[in-house]
A and B are shown apart, each in its own frame.
Chain A
Amino acid sequence: DAKTTQPTSMDCAEGRAANLPCNHSTISGNEYVYWYRQIHSQGPQYIIHGLKNNETNEMASLIITEDRKSSTLILPHATLRDTAVYYCIVGGYAGGTSYGKLTFGQGTILTVHP
């Protein structure tokens, strides 16, 4: 699986957009980009994933660069409850059967301040 690089920590003011970057320069053409988050003492929670196009759901937006070597997770209006570790993961081969082995890195600790 391709490796990802994320900043160790980020801060964001409540109500502002939180933009979390991720580099995945070795991503292969059929690998997805996934984002999960883990709030303290809880299990990781799926946020969003994408292959090539930008994606949006009720939680966040995912912007993937055209060369697919990096992506940004956007929380449009961060709240205190969004304080968590955010994991960017590459894997799960599109159209194949090798899906399943999502490897979590160290993630980005996002702290939302009042």
Chain B
Amino acid sequence: DAGVIQSPRHEVTEMGQEVTLRCKPISGHDYLFWYRQTMMRGLELLIYFNNNVPIDDSGMPEDRFSAKMPNASFSTLKIQPSEPRDSAVYFCASSLGSSGRIYFGEGSWLTVV
């Protein structure tokens, strides 16, 4: 299996622009997670889905952030409008059932200037 696939790997954008991060989970996995990592705050869970349904979005920082999972093989995390403080590594992860064994992608490195 190719693992969790994220795109883009790196993105530099200007403040105010819309950013869309994409994720393809491991086939057959029913949980999908979006995490954000910064030096200051560490690794934070933003939102997670079970069977394409958002279960907990309490970690989403504000209304500028939105996440969707239209089907079992694709999810997006959108930031509109982006701000410099959104600069971080965004990880997508997936898992099968409630094992707690979560597989992470390589991350999308976002820089907002």
Contact = CB atoms under 8 A, between A and B. Distances in A.
Contacts of B106: 42-43
Interface in B41-92: 42-45, 48, 50, 55-56, 91
Interface size of A as a range:
20 to 34
Interface SS of chain A: helix, strand, loop or mixed?
loop
A87 B104 CA distance: 14
A92 B107 CA distance: 23
Interface size of B as a range:
20 to 34
A104 B46 CA distance: 12
Contacts, number: 52
A101 B48 contact: yes
A100 B105 contact: no
Kindly name the residue among B91, B98, B100, B107 whose own CB sees the greatest number of chain A CB atoms within 10 A: B100
Interface of A: 32, 34, 36, 38, 42-46, 49, 87, 91-92, 97, 99-106
